[in-house]
Amino acid sequence: MSGRTLRILVVDDDPAMVGAITALVGTEGHQVITAYDGLNAVRRFREEAPDIVLLDLAMPGPDGYTVAGQMRAIAPTPIVVVSGESAEEAKVRALGIGADDYIVKPFGRAELLARIAAVMRRVDRSAIGAGAGPIAFGALTLEPSRHEAHVGGLPVSLTPTEYRLVEAMVRANGDLVPHLLLARAGWPAEIDPDLLWLKPHMARLRAKISAEPEAPRIVAVRGVGYRLEPRA
């Protein structure tokens, strides 16, 4: 792990699972905040401002997909889905609504801690850049030192993964970024990132960026990759 204590929000309707996760991450000295349903999960997320969220998908009230979407509207805190659902469709949908990783139950202590560490490394790497100045493509400006994005001076709220993806395209300055290179930029801790993760994240990113009329377009080149294109 990174050596720092994390505040981890654990959301699961099974008290035994919450207890197990609390015991596992507690061995690393991390503080656990708990919620057993969707409504309380969002409330505690807003009140406690955790460093990372471990989120089940099936729970009373709003399900995990809805909860993740609501959390994403509040802050770009990393979200790791912890679910008994192993189907690819569930994983793609979870990643599509903004989850940063997906762990299938049952899992071991080593895997859980490794996944948390990997996600936090991505966040920390994105935050590194104290000496880096802003970079821009058209009206889209990124500030690596602050991990912020602006279009025409207006802030755009991006998740850590979305920020890494758009940064790779901005640095390419309009040139095509192949799928594999983009996936490696989005998930730098993964040795072999799944290219299926790209599509839902790029769809969300395109919706956020293109909402501003001055923003560059994100152009998909079928079967090859993505690039930025200035607005006419």
Residue 48: how many CB atoms within 10 A of its CB? Answer: 13
Q: Whole-model pTM?
A: 0.59
Assigned fold of 135-229:
Arc Repressor Mutant, subunit A (1.10.10)
The pLDDT tens digits for 3-27 are 578 999 999 999 999 999 999 998 8
| Neighbouring residues of 129: CB distance < 8 A, sequence distance ≥ 6 | 144, 145, 147
Report the CATH architecture of 7-126: 3-Layer(aba) Sandwich (3.40)
Read off the pLDDT band of 191 (50, 70, 90).
low
CA 31 to chain centre: 21
Residue range 70-99: mean pLDDT, rounded: 86
In the chain, domain spans: 7-126, 135-229
* Higher pLDDT, residue 188 or 167: 167
CB 152 within 8 A of CB 225: no
Q: In which band, very low, low, confident or very high, does the pLDDT at 105 lie, cut at 50, 70 and 90?
A: very high
- pLDDT for residue 21: 95
Q: What is the pLDDT of residue 131?
A: 44
Per the CB < 8 A criterion, the answer to whether 159 and 100 are in contact is yes
Cβ-based neighbours of 2, under 8 Å, separated by 6 or more: 117, 120, 121, 124
Count of alpha carbons within 13 angstroms of residue 21, beta-carbon side: 30
Q: What mean pLDDT is predicted for residues 213-222?
A: 89
For the ranges 49-53, 96-100, 213-217, the one whose mean pLDDT is highest = 49-53
Model pLDDT, residue 49: 86
Across 50-72, average pLDDT: 90
Q: Given a cut of 90, is residue 226 above it in pLDDT?
A: yes
pLDDT digits (tens, 9 = 90+) for 129-174: 444 578 999 999 998 877 789 998 889 988 888 999 999 999 888 8
Q: Per-residue pLDDT averaged across 36-54, rounded?
A: 92
Strand partners, 80: 54, 101
State residue 209's pLDDT score: 87
Position 227 scores a pLDDT of 93
Angle at CA 208, nearest 5°, toward 162 and 145?
A: 45
